[in-house]
Amino acid sequence: MTTNAIDLKRLTASKDKFMDEMRADVKDAEAILKATTNHAGEEAVAARARIEQSLHIVKERLIEAEEAVLLHTKQAMKATDQYVSDNPWKAISITACAGVIVGMLIARR
């Protein structure tokens, strides 16, 4: 497995974790809004409306961000695959050098 593939997996895992946390935060905020529906008053109603609008915007932006990250990830995968296909010996050399460096770092411990 190449270093780029490892970095790509790490990036994808980080993105997935971030998106899951953001979705959980949005769900929590929605739950808080539902729990406060019994509180009357113009200020409370106006605040809930603003929060609902903000949550809607946040959801849209999360979807857009997820799509953008997915697109960039696919482009990076294609570029890496193309580079390795065009330059197999360079890719092997780079991977071997990275392996030697990692091996030396592990051996130092």
Q: What pLDDT digit, counting tens, does each position of 12-27 carry?
A: 677 777 777 777 777 7
CA neighbor of 19 nearest in space, from 73, 63, 72 = 63
Burial class of 26 by CB neighbour count within 10 A (0 to 12, 13 to 18, 19+): middle
Residue 39 pLDDT class (50, 70, 90 cuts): low
Mean pLDDT calculated for residue range 74-82: 87
**What range does the domain containing 69 cover?**
3-108
Query: What percentage of the chain carries pLDDT values higher than 70?
Result: 84
Q: What is the pTM of this model?
A: 0.47
**Total tally of structural domains belonging to the chain:** 1
CB atoms < 10 A from the CB of 73, how many?
Answer: 14
